[in-house]
Structure 1
Amino acid sequence: MGQRRYFGTDGIRGRANSHPMTAEVALRVGLAAGKLFMSADDRRHLVVIGKDTRLSGYMIEPALVAGFASVGMDVRLFGPLPTPGVAMMTRSMRADLGVMISASHNNYADNGIKLFGPDGYKLSDEMELKIEALMDQGLEQGLAASDKLGRVKRIDDAQARYVEIAKATFPRNLNLNGLRVVIDCANGAAYKVAPVALYELGAEVFPVGVEPDGTNINQKCGSTAPEAMAEAVRTYRADIGIALDGDADRLIVCDEKGAVVDGDQIMALIAKSWARKGVLSGGGVVATVMSNLGLERRLEADGLKLIRAKVGDRYVMEQMRQGGFNLGGEQSGHIILRDHATTGDGLLAALQVLAVMVESGKPMSELARQFDPVPQVLENVRHAGGKPLEAAAVKDAIAAGEATLNGSGRVLVRASGTEPLIRVMAEGDNAALVRRVVKDIAAAVKAAG
């Protein structure tokens, strides 16, 4: 497969107003994706566009609109809406394409473009390569005749529709009456919808991170800074804290004492509950190479399997579809509930956690530790843009690390798909050995990078 020039692990992403996150590239994406997803028939074609709360969304959105409209695609604009909401609405509105403008958990200076096909699933690598090829061709090809240009409208009820879809995933016989819930929306895409959904299901809601100003998305709040959620839980004596990221496709939870619960524990909790009810399909869970060995052992003890995919919820979803699984996700909090959504959805996953709380009658602190995590150390090494992983010294250091752990753990070294970072991770039963292995490999990467 060819090398992707614009698309990374999760769409196109970069610093706003510098390549590739410029108005010109966004225009080219609109032209290219519009051409690719318009069939030869004479019907009107439709693209739907959502965004988070970043200042640069005001620049990227109109550029995309211009591109799509100029090849003859009609456009519907949702305004701020979670990524999974855009995926759902792509399918429910029978659109040919869905677009989310967001850089997820990155700070406000970055932005990104994620694309969804008519089925609501993220595009494959092959489709992204086709779009890239079209982006680099002359832009004048395939422009619509002046009477065939696309029309653009804002959709005012997109958020209300998403709230209703989210609420419908919560068990009908249950409610959240009497539960005190902190919800941290990261000043991002879910700042309106998440508190409303929780309130309408009966919870007493304490919202945090619901005052976006264009530059405060993910700033000391949300799933990447769970301290704000934990502090609010202690302040309001809440039963649980829920923190979403900027585009609300992932979550981190904390218990009533403010102790943080990661995606691995959340997957174990939901898997156990679903297996007991007989609704877990595929006989297990799909996670990534980053998920803790403790999760694998916990699932195996319950007679369930763990399938590992590449990092990125798109790759998790591919494995889920291939193997018939309905639960998957990442340690970072992307949880995919395939019966309800086509991508990670922080709010839907939180509702499943709340359902277990309500059904069991147990406090979150009793449910939070489904397994004892194996000591795991991750170090991110920034590099100048070369290929340090191809250096012989780095390969030797990785081999030495694997030999040191000697089958009692794992070593994983990979390049980030979104930043110039090499991620060095090791885990095993001996914490001191794990730390040493990571330190040695990171040193080799620094010397090579």
Structure 2
Amino acid sequence: MTRKLFGTDGVRGTANQYPMTAEMALKIGAAAGRYFRNDGSNGHRVVIGKDTRLSGYMFENALTAGLTSTGMNVLLLGPVPTPAVGMLTTTMRADVGIMISASHNPHHDNGIKFFGPDGFKLSDEAEAEIEAMVFADIQLAQSINIGRAKRIDDGRFRYAERVKATFPQGQNLKGLKVVIDCANGAAHKVAPEVLWELGAEVIPVGVSPNGYNINENCGSTSPRTAAETIVSHGADVGICLDGDADRIMILDEKGNVADGDQLMALMAGRWADEGRLSGGALVATVMSNLGLERYLDGRGLRLERTNVGDRYVVERMRAGGYNLGGEQSGHIVMTDFATTGDGLLAGLQFLAAMIATGKKASELTKSFETVPQMLKNVRYSAGSDPLSAESVKKAIADAEGLLVGKGRLLIRKSGTEPLVRVMAECEDAALLEQVVDGIVAEVQTAA
């Protein structure tokens, strides 16, 4: 079935343009309500969180209207991180959790992510059923069975206590000076609070959201401000989150950035040494660097690769019984503690490693040498399919031939934006540039 709404991480797009309109959000809410309130009773509930985008108010109200119209009771959490929604869906015995966020995208975008009653993101099959209901006649509840909605004031604090409980017992962060960049997003209150309560000296960045500045020149996709702050304040380490705080980048004491691959390598090695790494494997996507795979192989560990998208990582983890996975982009999933990527939780695990080893951040963020990797994005117009063009197919085939035994190539469409992503890895820098630029040129022509 061809998807009209759902991508790799829920429904996403520009606010007030299809499909991210209030009208569509109302229909999505009603369809989700009908899907989860399948026995007709009035005991069903849904928790809704959001980040700090101005359009969040609109979508929060529209979803609430749709959900209550089909008999669901709505608990509104306000601005909280995405992982908090996953957690609170289970602890508050909700049937479904919804996060209103476009993650690392700019403020004019927004999205709707779903969590099932187990706190994990919905399967493709469940999303397909909800999508089908959106475009069909949705049976509304009888007047007497319309749902209620109310604000929940302590969701942030419940999440904070759960995250702090993952920090090693008897340890604290006293003596560490930590820069925390919250991307003017969902964690702008809870992340600095958690770090301070654990004993750190906290220097906050990106904690003044105004509805428009989420991810703007800050956060995991733009860590320069945090890097400059680390150097100017003589901080020990920096933690950069994205707009909904499910991603992280670690910065060392010099302001150098370590991506999700380096953080996963550190954790996999430490967990393996401690006998905590289930199945002797780390789950990551096809985007993770070849250097990570080589590092794990040298440790006698495996890298299990999946399609791009943290929920595909989680699906593989659950199917194989693995407890550590993530993405190069900074989604780090630790199913011993959480049901989805959690930037703050991952940051605490890194800080715990600093405390336990007594090492500087720079000594812990270079577990392996990365293989040179180049990624370029090509935007294409709606309705076109540049990857089907014969000229593009030939360019890809030629590039694959050049890279045999020297590297690897990955071409894919983004699941959240109209982009073709062209990625290659090769230790020959000139060849790397040649194959990527050659494919990009053909895709641009076909787009």
Give TM class, smaller chain: over 0.9
Distance of 1:39 and 1:28 partners within structure 2 = 17
Amino acid corresponding to residue 435 of structure 1 in structure 2? E
Aligned-partner Cα distance in 2 for 1:162–1:130? 30
CA distance in 2, matches of 1:34, 1:240: 44
Once the 2 structures are TM-superposed, how far is the Cα of residue 124 of structure 1 from its aligned partner?
Answer: 0.9
1:441 to 427, 439, 442: 439
Provide the residue aligned with 2:25 in structure 1. Answer: 26
Distance in 1, Cα, partners of 2:18 & 2:42:
35
Which residue number corresponds to residue 395 of structure 2? 397
Residue-by-residue CA offset, 1:312-358 (whole Å, 9 max, x unaligned): 10111111111111110111101101111111000011011111111
Look up the equivalent residue of 1:361 and give its one-letter code. G
* Amino acid paired to 1:86: V
Any residues of structure 2 matched to 1:88-103 within 5 Å, and which? 88-103=87-102
Question: In the alignment, does 2:188 pair up with 1:198?
Answer: no
What is the aligned partner in structure 1 of residue 217 from structure 2?
220
> Tell me, what secondary structure is at the counterpart of 2:98?
strand
Structure 1: distance between partners of 2:212 and 2:25: 20
Distance, in Å, in 2 between the alignment partners of 1:41 and 1:49 is 21
TM-score normalised by L of structure 2 = 0.99
Runs of 4 or more above 4 Å deviation? none
- The Cα shift of 1:35 comes to 0.3
- 2 CA distance for matches of 1:179 and 1:410? 40
Tell me if structure 1 keeps the 8 A contact 2:179–2:229. Answer: yes
Q: Find the aligned partners of 2:439 and 2:417 in 1 and give their Cα distance.
A: 19
Aligned match for 2:348, one of 344, 347, 351: 351
Counterpart mapping for 1:25-424 below 5 A: 25-40=24-39, 42-138=41-137, 141-385=138-382, 386-424=384-422
- Separation of aligned partners in 1, 2:430 and 2:66: 54
Give the Cα–Cα distance (whole angstroms) in 2 for the partners of residues 142 and 423 of structure 1. 40
Distance in structure 2 (CA, Å) of the matches to 1:217 and 1:447: 33
Q: 2:7 is matched with which residue? A: 8
Deviates more, 1:216-225 or 1:35-44: 35-44
**What one-letter code is carried by the residue in structure 1 that aligns with 2:259?**
D
- Deviation of 1:43 after TM superposition, in Å, equals 4.8
> How far is 1:302 from its partner?
0.6
The one-letter code matched in structure 2 to 1:93 is M
Q: Give the Å deviation of 1:102.
A: 0.3
Measure the CA separation in 2 of the matches of 1:62 and 1:444: 44
Aligned-partner Cα distance in 2 for 1:173–1:306: 33
Segments of 5+ residues of structure 1 without an aligned counterpart are none
CA displacement, residues 45-97 of structure 1 (integer Å, 9 cap, x when unaligned): 00000000000011100000001111111000000000000000001111000
Q: Which runs of 5+ in 2 are unaligned?
A: none
CA distance in 1: counterparts of 2:353 and 2:434, whole angstroms: 39
Could you tell me how far apart the structure 1 residues matched to 2:172 and 2:302 are? Answer: 31
Report the 3-state secondary structure (helix = DSSP H, G, I; strand = E; otherwise coil) of the residue aligned with 1:381: strand
* Structure 2 residue identity aligned to 1:72: G
**Distance between the aligned counterparts of 2:169 and 2:40, measured in 1?**
42
Shift of 1:247: 0.3
Q: How far apart in 2 are the matches of 1:42 and 1:413?
A: 47
Amino acid at match of 1:389: L
Contact 2:250 2:258 in 1 (8 A): yes
Cα deviation, 1:180-236, whole Å, max 9, x if unaligned, reads 000000000000110111111111100100010110100100001010111111111
Aligned-CA RMSD value: 0.9
Distance 1:371 1:193 in 2: 32
- Residue 315 of structure 1 aligns to a residue whose secondary structure is helix
- Measure how far apart 1:112 and its partner are: 0.4
State the TM-score, normalized to the length of structure 1: 0.98
Q: Give the secondary-structure state (helix, strand or coil) at the position aligned to 1:282.
A: helix
SS for the counterpart of 2:46 is strand
Q: Is the 8 A contact 2:81 2:244 kept in 1?
A: yes
Deviations 1:364-420 (A, max 9, x none): 111111101001011111112311111122111111111111222100000111111
2:293 aligned counterpart, secondary structure? helix
Q: CA deviation at 1:111?
A: 0.5
SS in 2 for 1:212: coil
State the 1:42 CA deviation.
Answer: 3.0
| TM superposition shift of 1:40 | 1.2
Structure 2 CA distance for aligned equivalents of residues 388 and 262 of structure 1: 30
Paired amino acid for 1:236: H
Alpha-carbon displacement from aligned partner over 1:105-131 (angstroms, at most 9, x marks no partner): 011101100011101111111111111
Q: Structure 1, residues 15-66: CA drift from partner, whole Å, max 9, x if none? A: 1111111100110011100000013163510000000000001110000000
Whole-Å separation in 2 of the counterparts to 1:407 and 1:4: 36
SS in 1 for 2:114: strand
- The one-letter code of the counterpart of 1:407 is G
In the alignment, is the contact (CA less than 8 A) between 2:247 and 2:329 conserved in 1? yes
Q: Give the drift of 1:173.
A: 2.7
**Aligned residue type for 1:352:** Q
